């Protein structure tokens, strides 16, 4: 699938890299579904043990070899792949992606785990910066519980959303990005959500009224659904989105004002000073 190959190419040419937040992982999930199900795993190469979490290379090989991927699931930024009796869990850090290929020349450049199927195709887990993690779980629920992940950002309804945010003392952007509160939103989708909601990223949660929260919840889910429809390809996003303008000298796609770039909880936040005016 050229799409994934394109990620590296896009990043090299200065376009926006597709980062593994919820929509990207959903794309990896459907990609896995459409390429890798119901094929016997012949062998597994662990090229870097750095990405293994609570499992050794030989344990992972034993865990996967002679198994088949039966189905997939996703929770937040985690991809789950079902085997006969347990689950493989993939997290992509800041630079991870999957590539299904046959010709060795098509192997991506920073393959950390290579799964070889008996049909002679391969699934590569490529993670340049080695910040992603591969692990296993008894079930999706067991993993969610073990990692204390909040509800998935796409599934959470408003009453639940409101309940988890109410009473928080901190700022809205870090709250949205906190995987223990809501799973799936990272730095760029929190920027987009707050841009579309007209909320300054440093706004204290307790300063937001019911209408604000309702709007944030609605925009968050609309954005995630749109991004998934566009296969997380930012070049296909609506022209009113801030994501493609999150760069030095970027301008607001709605009014042309130069975007502000600030640090919020240690992360880079871009926002429009004209559109995101709630007091902090």
Partner DNA sequence: CGTGGCTCCTGGCGGC
Partner DNA sequence: TGCCGCCAGGAGCCAC
The angle at the Cα of 56, spanning 147 to 119, to the nearest 5 degrees, equals: 100
Cβ 67 to DNA shortest distance, Å: 26
Q: Which of 79, 81, 176, 188 binds DNA (CB under 7 A)?
A: 188
Q: Which residues lie closer than 8 Å to 242 by C-beta, 6 or more apart?
A: 191, 192, 195, 196, 250, 252, 253, 259, 270, 271, 272
Q: Which of 6, 45, 47, 50 binds DNA (CB under 7 A)?
A: 50
Residues 136-155 that bind DNA (CB under 7 A): 147
The pairing of beta strand 260-264 with beta strand 87-91? unpaired
Exposure b/e, 76-114, CB count within 10 A at least 16 = b = bbbbbbbbeeebbbbbbbebbbbbbbeeeeeebebbbbb
Kindly state whether residue 267 participates in binding DNA, applying the rule CB under 7 A: yes
Do 8 and 31 form a contact (C-beta atoms < 8 A)? Answer: no
Cβ 51 to DNA shortest distance, Å: 10
Q: Which of 211, 249, 266, 279 binds DNA (CB under 7 A)?
A: 266
Q: Using CA atoms, how far apart are residues 247 and 14, in angstroms rounded to an integer?
A: 10
Give the range of 16-24, 54-62, 136-144, 210-218 binding DNA by CB under 7 A: 16-24
Q: Which residues lie closer than 8 Å to 46 by C-beta, 6 or more apart?
A: 52, 57, 60, 61, 112, 113
Residues 168-187 that bind DNA (CB under 7 A): 168-171, 174-175, 177, 179-180, 186-187
Residues 231-260 that bind DNA (CB under 7 A): 243, 246
Residues 197-226 that bind DNA (CB under 7 A): none
- Residues of this chain that interact with DNA (CB under 7 A) are 11-12, 14, 16-17, 19-21, 50, 76-77, 91, 93-94, 109-110, 128-131, 147, 168-171, 174-175, 177, 179-180, 186-188, 243, 246, 264-268
């Amino acid at each position: 699938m050229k799409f994934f190959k394109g990620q590296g190419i896009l990043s090299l040419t200065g376009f926006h890299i597709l980062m593994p937040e919820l929509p990207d992982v959903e794309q990896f999930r459907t990609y896995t579904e459409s390429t890798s199900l119901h094929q016997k795993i012949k062998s597994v190469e662990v090229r870097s043990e750095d990405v293994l979490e609570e499992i050794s290379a030989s344990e992972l090989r034993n865990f996967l070899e002679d198994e088949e991927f039966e189905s997939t699931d996703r929770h937040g930024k985690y991809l789950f792949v079902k085997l006969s009796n347990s689950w493989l869990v993939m997290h992509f850090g800041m630079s991870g992606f999957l590539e299904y290929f046959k010709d060795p020349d098509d192997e991506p450049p920073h393959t950390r785990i290579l799964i070889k199927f008996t049909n002679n195709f391969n699934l590569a887990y490529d993670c340049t910066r080695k910040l992603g993690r591969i692990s296993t779980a008894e079930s999706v629920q067991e993993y969610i519980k073990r990692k204390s992940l909040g509800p998935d950002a796409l599934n959470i309804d408003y009453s639940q959303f409101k309940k988890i945010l109410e009473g928080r003392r901190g700022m809205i952007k870090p709250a949205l990005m906190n995987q223990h509160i809501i799973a799936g939103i990272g730095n760029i989708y929190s920027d987009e959500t707050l841009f579309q909601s007209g909320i300054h990223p440093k706004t204290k949660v307790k300063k937001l009224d019911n209408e604000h929260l309702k709007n944030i919840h609605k925009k968050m889910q609309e954005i995630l659904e749109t991004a998934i429809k566009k296969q997380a390809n930012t070049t296909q996003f609506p022209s009113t989105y801030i994501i493609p303008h999150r760069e030095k000298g970027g301008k607001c796609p709605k009014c042309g004002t130069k975007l502000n770039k600030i640090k919020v909880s240690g992360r880079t936040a871009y926002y429009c000073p004209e559109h995101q005016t709630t007091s902090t």
